[in-house]
Amino acid sequence: MQITPDIHALKIPFEIPVSAEMKLERFVYVYAIYSDRLCLIDSGVTGAEKAICEWLEKQGKNPSDIDILLLTHSHPDHIGGARAIKNKSDCEIWSHPDARNWVENVDQQFLNRPVPGFHALVEGSVAVERELDDLEIVDMGGTSLQVIYTPGHSRCSLSLFCEESGVLFTGDAIPQGNDLPIYDDAGLAVESIKRLQGIAGVKHILSSWSDPSLDENPVEVMDGGLQYFQKIHTVVRQTMHTKQIDDPMDLCRAVVGILGFPELAINPLVARSLFSHKRFIEKEFLYS
């Protein structure tokens, strides 16, 4: 899908093996920026390099011309294909400093954050050549990106703003209303969205979790992300005020049922996300 003459989007479908009997169908977007340097934003999962290379070739590009692979954060669906893309192109891999450990040592990431099917999603470790600082301007010739640190979904999450086109790449920083709660810190996630709201000139938001729509109003997208967190916070707060809950999994079981999420949402990752609301439990509104 062409977003602008220089920015294109590719949807990468994949499956998460939740159990021997159940697989969760997901997708993630990879973006390409065609400037003086060819830049990919994120790499999808293991095997995604084949679709990415075919996609580039159909647009008259050589996969070996990939100069930069910029990672919005270090989770499996964003770094899984990084090693294969590095091997095909010898590109430079850029990320937030806090992503380095999990990108360069994926076994450590699995120990710290055991996602189901992790090793089927991530091909292997790969070196990070450049660490990106908050508010740094990355010049790629005809296009530049401003780096914006947006923690919450992960501690190493980056968003990227292309002022020339008004495109804001948000990775997983702005959730959609039907997404499972997967984030490290609800408070930081809300602050990050509020920070993005302060950027002037945003015309289009390109996230990893949702299909690009040039008709979407960026203000409504960001407001929707805040409302998503508030909805979850209200249920967590009411649940914890009703009964004493000290175990994250107990909270997860209660909240998932109220919110109507599928049973597979009762897992440690969602439990951790919901439990991150506890430090704001006396606060009625998570954002104000």
DSSP state of 185: -
Q: Which amino acid is at 265?
A: A
pLDDT of residue 86: 96
pLDDT of residue 187: 96
pLDDT of residue 160: 98
Residue 237 falls inside a structural domain: no
Residue 210 falls inside a structural domain: yes
Residue ranges making up the domain that contains 25: 2-223
Residue 266 falls inside a structural domain: no
Q: Which amino acid is at 168?
A: L
Q: How many CB atoms lie within 10 A of CB 95?
A: 26
Helix axes 248-259, 218-242, angle to 10 degrees: 120
Q: Distance between CA atoms of 37 and 222, rounded to whole angstroms?
A: 30
The gap from C-alpha 152 to its chain's centroid, in whole angstroms, comes to 10
Strand order in the sheet with 130-131: 2-4, 7-17, 23-34, 38-41, 66-70, 92-95, 130-131
Residue 257 falls inside a structural domain: no
Place of tokens 């649940």: 239
Residue 60 falls inside a structural domain: yes
Residue 35 falls inside a structural domain: yes
Closest CA to 221 of 175, 180, 189, 184: 175
pLDDT of residue 188: 97
- Total domain count for the chain? 1
Which residues, in sequence order, are bridge partners of residue 68?
Answer: 39, 92
pLDDT of residue 213: 82
Residue 249 falls inside a structural domain: no
Residue 157 CB partners (closer than 8 Å, separation 6+): 72, 73, 96, 149, 150, 151, 171, 172, 173, 192
* E runs forming strands in 23-83: 23-34, 38-41, 66-70
Which domain CATH number covers 79? 3.60.15.10
Residue 117 falls inside a structural domain: yes
pLDDT of residue 227: 96
pLDDT in 10s for each residue of the chain, 288 residues? 899 999 999 999 988 877 667 777 889 999 999 998 999 999 999 999 999 999 999 999 999 999 999 999 999 999 999 999 999 999 999 999 999 999 999 999 999 999 988 999 999 999 999 999 999 999 988 889 999 999 999 999 999 999 999 999 999 999 988 888 999 999 999 999 999 999 999 999 999 988 888 888 999 999 999 999 999 999 999 999 888 888 999 999 999 999 999 888 999 999 999 999 999 989 999 886
